[in-house]
Structure 1
Amino acid sequence: MNDRIAQALTKLFDRHRIVFWYDAKQELRDDFETLSLPGVEKLELTNNQYGVKYKILREQPEQKFLLYREGPQPNDLDNWLLDVQLAQGEFRTDQVAIWLSELELGLEFTNVVQAHVEFFQAIKRKDALKKLLQADDTAGQIRLKMLAVCTGSEPRMDAVMENLLQELADGRDEKIKLVDRCSLDSFLWEQMTRLYGYNSGEPGIRDFTIELFKSCYAMGTAGQVKLTGDALVFLKRWKDSRQFEDGFETLSGECAEVLGIEQDLAKRDFRELIELDYFRLIDQKIISDLVRAVTSRTVSSGDVSLWVRQRRQGHWYREYQHLYEAVDYAAQFAHALGEAKLTMDSLAEGVQRYSRFWYQLDQLYRKFIYHVRISGQASLMGSLTDQVENLYSNNYLMKLGDRFQTFVDATPRWEAFPVRAQKGFFEHWVRPFLRKDNKVCVIISDAMRYEIGDELLSLIRQEDRYSAELEPALSVLPSYTQLGMAALLPNKALAIADNETGTVLVDGQSSQGTANRTKILQSALNGRG
C-alpha cells in the first residue's frame, strides 16, 4: 500500500508544490509517518492552519509540502487553507482517487470514473486510456477515448462506429458487450443522436445500421429521412474505407433484403439512381436497364458515356466494370456507325478514310466483345451482343468490303498514293536510321489490326519518355504471312516460288526461315545485318 501511495503522491508533486491529504477514515497514519518523498516536507494539520499557511506561503515559498489531516476535510467556512487547496493538489486514498491520480486527472473527473468503474478494473484498458489523454480533455472527450479503447479504434465517433459495424458484420459482439459492461452505452447512443439524429426506444448497432441505409437511400430517392446529413457523410466514408469495405458490403446486402430494396428499385427509372451506390442491387438495376435502353436506341451515346463515367466512382464499379464498359462501347459503336459515311471514290481515298476514321469502328467493336467475354454475363448481354454483331457484320463489314472490292477489281496497278506500299518499308522507315549509324529495332506482329496499332500509339504517348507516330502502308497481294514478312526486307523484286511451298524469293533468294532472312539483310547492308 505504501508503494502505491508514494507513486500516486510523486505524480501529484510533479504538477503541484503543495498536496493535501485528508485521511477521512483515520486508517493511514502509519503510512503517512513512514512515508518519505525526496524534496517533500511533511506537515500535519492539527488546529495550526494559520501557522502552516504562513510557513508554506511566506517562509518557504519554493518548498514542496505534504499536508496531512487525520479525519475528513473541514467545511469550507472553517477551512483556512481552502484557497491554497483549490490552487494546489489533493491526494485521496479511495480507489477512484487512486485511479484519478494514476491517470493524472483532476478531482473534477471523479464522477466520470465512478460512473464507469468496470472500465478501470482492467489495467490494460486503463493504460491504453492514459496514452490517449490530453491535459485539456473534457468529460465527454474522456468518455469518447474510453469508447475508443473498448472498440479498438481511434478516438472519433465515426471510427468507433466503423469498428462496431465491422464486428456486427463478422457476427461477433465482444466489443459492444464491453461498452455495455463499462456503462458507456448511454454515452454512445447520446453521441449517435447528437451526430446523426439517431433515436430509438431500443437502440442497437443492427437497428442503427438498418436506419442508416434506409435514410441514406431515402435521401437520394425523395423518401422519408430520419437521420441527418452527417449520417450520409459517415456512410460514404465507411463504404470507401479499404479497412472496412468488406463489412460494409456484408451489411449492405443484409439491409437490402430487410428494406425490400429490390422491389423498390423495380418501380424506379435508372436515371434517378445514377448517383447512388449503397446497394449492389442498384448497379444491377442500372446495367440491366442500360442494356435495354441501348438495344432499343432510346438513349444517346453521350448520355451513356456520362452515366458510365459517373458510375466509375461508385463502390461496386470494380465488380461490374466490364458490363458497364461493354454497354458504353456498344452505344459508341452504334453511334459511330450511324455517323460514318462508308463511301469512297478511289482505293487511295478508302485507305486514307479507314486510317483516319473507319478503324475506330473496328476498335469499338473489339472492346465491346472483349468486355462482354470478360464479364462472364453472356445471357444478360445477349440481345445487345446480337444487335452489335448484326450491325458490325451487315452494316459495316459487308458494305465496306463490297466497296473496297469494287476498286480492287478495277485498279490497273496495286497502289494507293500517297499511302506507301509495304514493299518499300525498309527503304522508307529503316534505311534513314542506318544512314545515321543509329540502331533500329523492328517488331513484327502478324495480322495485328490497324486499330490495335492506334491503341498502342496512345499507350506509348502516355509515357513521358517516348514519342510515337502511326502511319498506314498498303499491303502486298496476296496478303499472307510469308509474303508480308518478305516485303519488309530490303528488296528490288519479290516473287513466289513455282512450287507448293509458297516460299517467297527476295531478289531470287529464299526468305524462308530466320537464317535466310539474315543473309538477305547482311547482303543489303554489306555484312552489317
Structure 2
Amino acid sequence: MSDRIQAGLARLFEEHRIVFWYDTARDMRAAFEAADPPGVEKVEIANNEFGLKYRILRQEPKQKFLIYKDGPEPEMTDNWLLDVQLATAVFKADQAAIWLAELGLPTQFEDVVRDHMEFYRSKGRIEHLKRLLTPSDTKTDVLRRMLTVCAGAEGALDTVIEALLGELASGRDDALRLMDRAGLTAFFWTQVENAYGYVSDEPDFEDFAITLFQSCYCRALDEDGKLNAEALLVFRRWKNNRHGAEAFEALSRKYQDILQIPEDLQGREIKPLRAIDHFEEIDRQIIRKLVAEMSSQTVSSAEVLKTVRERRQSHWYPIYRDVYEAIGYATEFQQVLAEATLSMTSPAEGVKRYVSSWFKIDQLYRKFIYHMQKSGQASLLGSLFESVENRYTTNFLLTVNDAWQDQVAKLSDWAVPGYPKQTDFYRDQAAEYRRRDQKVVVIISDALRFEVAEECQREIRKLPRYDAELKPMISTLPSYTQLGMAALLPNQDLILSGDSAVSSFGEPTQGTTNRQKILGKGRAGDKAKAMKAEDFMNMKADEGKALFRDHDILYLYHNRIDIIGDKLATEDRVTEAAEDAIEDLTKLVRKLTTANFSNILITADHGFLYQHRLLDETDFSVADPTGSEILFKNRRFVIGSGLNETAGMKKFSSAELGLSGDLDVLIPNSINRMRAKGAGSRFVHGGASLQEVVVPVLKVGKRREADVGKVDVQIIVPGRSLISSGQTAVTLYQAQAVSEKQQQRDLLTGIYASDGTLISDEHQLTFDFTSENARERELPIKFLLSREADQFNDQDVFLKLRQRIGKTSHYEDYANHRFQLRRGITTDFDF
C-alpha cells in the first residue's frame, strides 16, 4: 500500500507544487506519516490555515508542500485554503481507495468497498478475497465472494450455507456477526431467497435451517415444501459430505423433535421412507415396522432384504448397521427354514442334507444372534428375537435332531456309511501328505462347528490366490474335547477313563506335550511338532520359516470358541467367539503360508449346540442315569460301567463306539440336556446331534495366479438417454453376486458436464449384494441437478461411476453413460 501511495504522490508532484490530502475516514495518518516524497515538505492543517497560506505562498514560494488534514474536506464556504486548492491538486487516498487499488478493482467498484469497510479491516480477509476474484467479476460477484470469506467457505453459496450450518450446530454465529458488521446481511438474505426460495419478514438463520430440514423431508416424500429443489440438492450434498456429518447429526436430532417427525412417521409405510435419511427417527421407525411385520410374518423376505439393501445408503446406517444385519440374517433364516424339508431315511442322508443345506440354518441363527448382541438394541429387536428363537429351537433344532435321533437309535455301531471317521483323520488325510513326501500343518480349532468352518472357508477364499475345500467328518462319541483331540492324532486303543481323560498307545493324550509324543508315533522318521496356535502367531518371520524347515508335520491347537462357550459366565458370548475364531484362522493361514507352509488342514475335535435363550425345564432329560457305577456326567453324556438302558437316552458300549475298554456311555436323545450343577446349558457338546458330530475338514492351498476380482457394475437407463427435468433416475446393476473371488465394489456417482463440472448431487455406493437373483442386485438411484446444470443445457452430460485409487483421495472413472441435457425452461438463479 505504501508503494502505491508513494507512486501516486510522485505523479501529482510532477505537475503540481502543492498537493492536498484529506483523510476523510481518519484512518490514513500512519500512511501520511510514512510517506516521504522527495523534495516535499509535509505540513498539517490544524486551525492554522492563514499561517500555512502565508508560508506556502510568500515565505517559500518554490517549495513543494503536501498538505494533510485529519478529517473530511470542509465545505467550500468554510475552506480558507480553497483558492490555493483550486489552483493545485487533491490526492485521493482514503482507505477505501487504497483497498480498491490493492484488490485491482476499477473505481466503479468503489461502493463495494466503501459500503462494507469493516470487511476490509482484516488483511487476512483482503488476501483471501484477492485469491477468489476473477477479471470477469461483477459487483454482485465480489459481494458473493465476500460472503464466502466471511463464512470461511470454499466457493459458492451452498458452501457458505454448509459453513453456517456447521457454526449453528456448534452454537456459534461468528460468520453471521461478521457479515452483519460488514453490512452484508441484507445481501446474504437476498441471495438465499433467490437461490432457495426462503422468504421471511424477519429472516433468521436457524429459522432457515429448520425450514430446510422440513422442506427437504417433505420434498423427499413428494409433498410440498417451502423451499425449492435447489435447497434439497444443497441439503443432500451437506448431509453426504463427511466433513459436515457431525453438524448434520446434531441439527437433525434437534429438529426432528421440533418438527414432530416421530409423530409424523407413525402413519407412514416403509416403502416411501426407504430412500430418506434426513432424521435418525426414520431408521428407528423402519426397523420397528420391519421387526413387527417379520414377527407376524406379514412381509416377504424379498421386501425385507430390499429395504435393508436400500438403507445401506442411509446416513445413519453405521449406527444401525448391526440392527439391519440382524434383520437381514433373520429374514434369510426364516426363508431357508421355510424351504427346508427336515427328514431323512438314513444316517448318511441326514449328514448329506446337513452339510449341503441345513447347516445354513445354524449359521444364519448364529449370525442373527451375533449382530443382535453387537447392536445393543435388544429391546428394539425383542419380538424378532422371540420369533427367531422359537422357530430355531422348535421348528429346526428339535425337529431335525428328533429325525436324526430316529436314525441314531437304529445304529449298533457309531459310524455313518460314506463319511470318514475322526479316528481315521491322521492316517487318511494328514499322513497322505507325508506319503507324498510333502510337509503339512494341521490346525485343530476347539469346537469349530461345521457351519463356522464354512464361513471361514469363504473368508479364506477371499484372500488373493488362496483356495479352500470343505468336507465333513464324523466325530467320535462322546463328542467332547479330550476324545476328539486324541482321535485326530495317530491313535491306537483309545480308552476312556472314569474322569473323562483319554489314553492312546497306552499313554495320556491331554496337553500339548503329550500330544506331541503321540504325534511322533505316526510315521517313522517324521519330525513332528505340536504347539499352541497363539505361540506360532507370536513367532517372528524367520522363526516361522525355521519351524517349517525343521519339521515335517505340525499340529497347531487353537481355542477360541470352546474356551468361551464352555463357561457358564461367558457362554452367551459364543457367537462373538465364533467371529473371532474365523478372523484368527484366516490370519493364521496367511502367516503359515508366509512361513512356507502350503499344505494346511483345519479341523475340529467336536461341534456344539447353542441356544441363546435360557433353557426351560422341558429341555432337560427327565430320567437320571443308573447303573453299577457312574464315573462322569455332564450335560450331554454319561460315562460309567454297567449302565442301564435309560428312557430318553441311547446307550453305547466302548466297542460300539470304536473305543477300547469296557465302559458304557449314555447320550441324551436329540438335543436334551441333563441337569448339572454350575455348568452352562446353552452351549453344550458331547452328544450325538448333527451340530455336535458333523465336524469340518477344511483343506487350504495357494494358487500361483491372482484370482480375486471385484464385481462389475453396469448403468441401466430406462427409455431415452435424455434429461429434461431437474432430476433423473437410473438403475445400477451389479452383474455378479459377491462371492469369495468376486468381491464388493465401492463407487462414487454423479452427473458431470463435458468439462468435468459436477452438476448433480453425488452418491457414495457399495455394491456387495450376495443374492443369486439378478433383480435383487439392482439399485435404483435418483440424481438432482444443480443450478450449474443450466449452463450446459442442450449439451451432452455424463453419468459417471468413479472408483477410489487405492487408499488415496483421488478417483478414476470406472464407467459412464452419455445423456443429452435438454430442459425446456432453465432456472434463472441470481446466485
Query: Is the Cα–Cα contact under 8 Å of residues 12 and 19 in structure 2 kept in the other structure?
Result: no
Q: How does 1:483-498 map to 2 (within 5 A)?
A: 483-491=483-491, 493-497=492-496
Q: Percent identity?
A: 44
Are residue 232 (structure 1) and residue 236 (structure 2) matched?
no
Query: Is the Cα–Cα contact under 8 Å of residues 253 and 279 in structure 2 kept in the other structure?
Result: yes
Q: How does 1:323-362 map to 2 (within 5 A)?
A: 323-362=323-362
Give the 3-state SS of the residue equivalent to 1:243 in structure 2: helix
Deviation at 1:261, TM superposition (A): 1.3
Aligned amino acid, residue 330 of structure 1: A
Summarize the Cα distance change of 1:137–1:432 in structure 2 as closer, same or farther, 3 Å threshold: farther
Query: Is the Cα–Cα contact under 8 Å of residues 347 and 407 in structure 1 kept in the other structure?
Result: yes
Deviation at 1:503, TM superposition (A): 2.9
Give the 3-state SS of the residue equivalent to 1:137 in structure 2: coil
Are residue 220 (structure 1) and residue 226 (structure 2) matched?
no
> What residue is the counterpart of 2:128 in the other structure?
128
Divergent runs of 4+, >6 A: 7-10, 18-23, 29-33
Deviation at 1:215, TM superposition (A): 0.9
Deviation at 1:449, TM superposition (A): 1.5
Task: Tell me the TM-score normalised to structure 2 length.
Answer: 0.53
Q: Distance in 1 between matches of 2:108 and 2:12?
A: 16
Over residues 322-372 of structure 1, what are the superposed CA-to-partner deviations in whole Å (9 max), with x where a residue is unaligned? 222222222221121111000111111111111110011001111111122
> What residue is the counterpart of 2:501 in the other structure?
503
> What residue is the counterpart of 1:388 in the other structure?
388
Query: Is the Cα–Cα contact under 8 Å of residues 475 and 484 in structure 2 kept in the other structure?
Result: yes
Summarize the Cα distance change of 1:20–1:344 in structure 2 as closer, same or farther, 3 Å threshold: farther
> What residue is the counterpart of 2:173 in the other structure?
173
Query: Is the Cα–Cα contact under 8 Å of residues 8 and 98 in structure 1 kept in the other structure?
Result: no
> What residue is the counterpart of 2:450 in the other structure?
450
> What residue is the counterpart of 1:201 in the other structure?
201
Deviation at 1:395, TM superposition (A): 0.8
Q: Distance in 1 between matches of 2:93 and 2:370?
A: 76
Q: How does 1:282-297 map to 2 (within 5 A)?
A: 282-297=282-297
Deviation at 1:114, TM superposition (A): 1.9
Q: How does 1:233-272 map to 2 (within 5 A)?
A: 233-272=233-272
Q: Distance in 2 between matches of 1:219 and 1:186?
A: 28
Deviation at 1:167, TM superposition (A): 1.1
Give the 3-state SS of the residue equivalent to 2:520 in structure 1: helix
* Structure with greater strand share of residues: 2
Q: How does 1:338-487 map to 2 (within 5 A)?
A: 338-487=338-487
Aligned amino acid, residue 264 of structure 1: D
Q: Distance in 1 between matches of 2:495 and 2:320?
A: 51
Summarize the Cα distance change of 1:2–1:477 in structure 2 as closer, same or farther, 3 Å threshold: closer
Deviation at 1:3, TM superposition (A): 4.8
- The answer to which of 416-425 and 289-298 deviates more is 416-425
Deviation at 1:4, TM superposition (A): 5.1
Summarize the Cα distance change of 1:381–1:26 in structure 2 as closer, same or farther, 3 Å threshold: same
Over residues 212-244 of structure 1, what are the superposed CA-to-partner deviations in whole Å (9 max), with x where a residue is unaligned? 111111112232222222211111111122222
Q: Distance in 2 between matches of 1:391 and 1:249?
A: 38
> What residue is the counterpart of 1:27 in the other structure?
20
- Report how many aligned residue pairs link the two structures: 469
Q: How does 1:32-47 map to 2 (within 5 A)?
A: 34=38
- The answer to which of 110-119 and 191-200 deviates more is 191-200
Over residues 361-415 of structure 1, what are the superposed CA-to-partner deviations in whole Å (9 max), with x where a residue is unaligned? 0011111111222222222322221121111111111111111111112124433
Deviation at 1:207, TM superposition (A): 1.3
Q: How does 1:31-180 map to 2 (within 5 A)?
A: 34=38, 70-71=88-89, 92-180=92-180
Summarize the Cα distance change of 1:354–1:119 in structure 2 as closer, same or farther, 3 Å threshold: same
Query: Is the Cα–Cα contact under 8 Å of residues 486 and 504 in structure 2 kept in the other structure?
Result: yes
Query: Is the Cα–Cα contact under 8 Å of residues 13 and 19 in structure 2 kept in the other structure?
Result: no
Query: Is the Cα–Cα contact under 8 Å of residues 144 and 155 in structure 1 kept in the other structure?
Result: no
Over residues 90-145 of structure 1, what are the superposed CA-to-partner deviations in whole Å (9 max), with x where a residue is unaligned? x9523222111112222232221122111112223222322333334333332222
Aligned amino acid, residue 126 of structure 1: I
Summarize the Cα distance change of 1:144–1:435 in structure 2 as closer, same or farther, 3 Å threshold: farther
Query: Is the Cα–Cα contact under 8 Å of residues 348 and 419 in structure 1 kept in the other structure?
Result: yes
Q: Distance in 1 between matches of 2:110 and 2:470?
A: 78
Which of the residues 510, 523, 526 maps onto 1:525?
A: 523
Q: Distance in 1 between matches of 2:430 and 2:127?
A: 74
Which of the residues 492, 511, 514 maps onto 2:512?
A: 514
Q: Distance in 1 between matches of 2:218 and 2:14?
A: 60
CA root-mean-square deviation: 2.8
* Structure with greater helix share of residues: 1
Deviation at 1:502, TM superposition (A): 2.8
Over residues 273-332 of structure 1, what are the superposed CA-to-partner deviations in whole Å (9 max), with x where a residue is unaligned? 111100111111111111110001010111101101111110111112222222222222
Deviation at 1:20, TM superposition (A): 12
What stretches of structure 1 of length at least 5 have no aligned partner?
11-17, 37-68, 73-90
Aligned amino acid, residue 27 of structure 1: F
Task: Tell me the TM-score normalised to structure 1 length.
Answer: 0.82
Aligned amino acid, residue 343 of structure 2: T
Summarize the Cα distance change of 1:215–1:106 in structure 2 as closer, same or farther, 3 Å threshold: same
Summarize the Cα distance change of 1:102–1:188 in structure 2 as closer, same or farther, 3 Å threshold: same
Aligned amino acid, residue 398 of structure 1: L
Deviation at 1:481, TM superposition (A): 1.0
Deviation at 1:34, TM superposition (A): 2.8
Q: Distance in 1 between matches of 2:202 and 2:435?
A: 86
Deviation at 1:165, TM superposition (A): 0.9
Q: Distance in 2 between matches of 1:223 and 1:438?
A: 71
Question: Of the two structures, which has the highest relative contact order with CA contacts closer than 8 Å and spacing of 6 or more?
Answer: 2
Query: Is the Cα–Cα contact under 8 Å of residues 252 and 278 in structure 1 kept in the other structure?
Result: yes
Over residues 227-274 of structure 1, what are the superposed CA-to-partner deviations in whole Å (9 max), with x where a residue is unaligned? 222211111111122222121112112222222212111121122211
Deviation at 1:33, TM superposition (A): 6.4
Aligned amino acid, residue 138 of structure 1: T
Q: Distance in 2 between matches of 1:70 and 1:205?
A: 52
Summarize the Cα distance change of 1:100–1:441 in structure 2 as closer, same or farther, 3 Å threshold: same
What stretches of structure 2 of length at least 5 have no aligned partner?
23-31, 41-86, 529-831
Q: Distance in 2 between matches of 1:365 and 1:381?
A: 14
> What residue is the counterpart of 1:60 in the other structure?
none
> What residue is the counterpart of 1:211 in the other structure?
211
Deviation at 1:28, TM superposition (A): 5.5
Over residues 483-524 of structure 1, what are the superposed CA-to-partner deviations in whole Å (9 max), with x where a residue is unaligned? 111111123x34214x42333232333322222221122222
Aligned amino acid, residue 518 of structure 1: Q
Summarize the Cα distance change of 1:22–1:212 in structure 2 as closer, same or farther, 3 Å threshold: farther
Q: Distance in 2 between matches of 1:436 and 1:22?
A: 107
Q: Distance in 2 between matches of 1:162 and 1:298?
A: 42
